[in-house]
Amino acid sequence: MFKVIFMNYVKDFKWKKGMKADEFVTGLSKVGFQSVLLGRASEIIRKMKRDGAKIYLTFTSNMATSGLRGFFAQLIDLGMADIIVTTVGGLEEDIMRASKERFAIGSFRADDVALHEKGMNRVGNILIREESYANFEDIMTRMLGKIYEKKKRLTTAEFFREIGLMLRDKDSILYQAARHNVPVFCPAVTDGALGFHLFMFQEKHPDFIIDSVRDFKDIVVFTSQDDRKGIICLGGGVSKHYAILSTLINGGMDYAVYMTTASASSGSMSGATTDEAKSWGKIKDDADAVTVIGDVTITFPLVMAKALEELKKEGCLRK
């Protein structure tokens, strides 16, 4: 006779006065559906840190455009990321924010024609002035000149480290990464405003090169077959694939947390689950892994709040 063994049972969620974030996530972890996976994701993140795994943090540019930008910087400072992979838009806006630019919160239902006429660009419900990009051009012109004086051929990780060393904002991703020797890889470095600035600068300085091939070599050799590896992957696209592909020849990831709004049925990289990655060997067959579906600006802070509380108690965070 087939016997079903239940590991857990549904437990009613109840609010209590003074409830802390980690208690909130613990309460959700037995509600059922996606809320169960929040607790699972938090536990896997704790495991990869306790295990001494090298942690890859990947995110799409829109997440750095949001207020998660300062949280990413804090996580680097706490020692929760050993390597960053992202796309160029978020790094541009990290530099803007570090240079005192401010982004407004608008509406998903905004009149986009009217916004364009007013010189405003919309990312979801976040608004960025065109003037901010004009100021960014001035900033990059100065920074590129200084970098060129030091070195004429760089990988993206070297390039963004140089920029990070010039910033003074502790809430900046690039500032914290540069000071903690966390490499920031940006495989799609020309896919944004910075691409135009690099193009124009190289027209005047043909010997200035961003070496993408050496970039890939550097990320491939960042870990070995013997290293324990974990990934926290927010969103998808090139930043997600670049990271998991880079560990393929070294056995794949031992731990993986994917958080996305995309559907697996699309066949896209953004919607691909941790299970699908196992078919490619990018995540190990026995990896501790979970895929959480939901808005990362909601799910990720909740998952990390619980993980950080536990890791702090255990003395696993950088002081």
Catalytic residues: 282
Using CA atoms, how far apart are residues 119 and 111, in angstroms rounded to an integer?
13
- 154 — phi, psi (to 5°)? -140, 155
Q: Which amino acid is at 224?
A: S
Closest CA to 231 of 216, 246, 221, 217: 246
Distance CA 240, CA 244 (A): 7
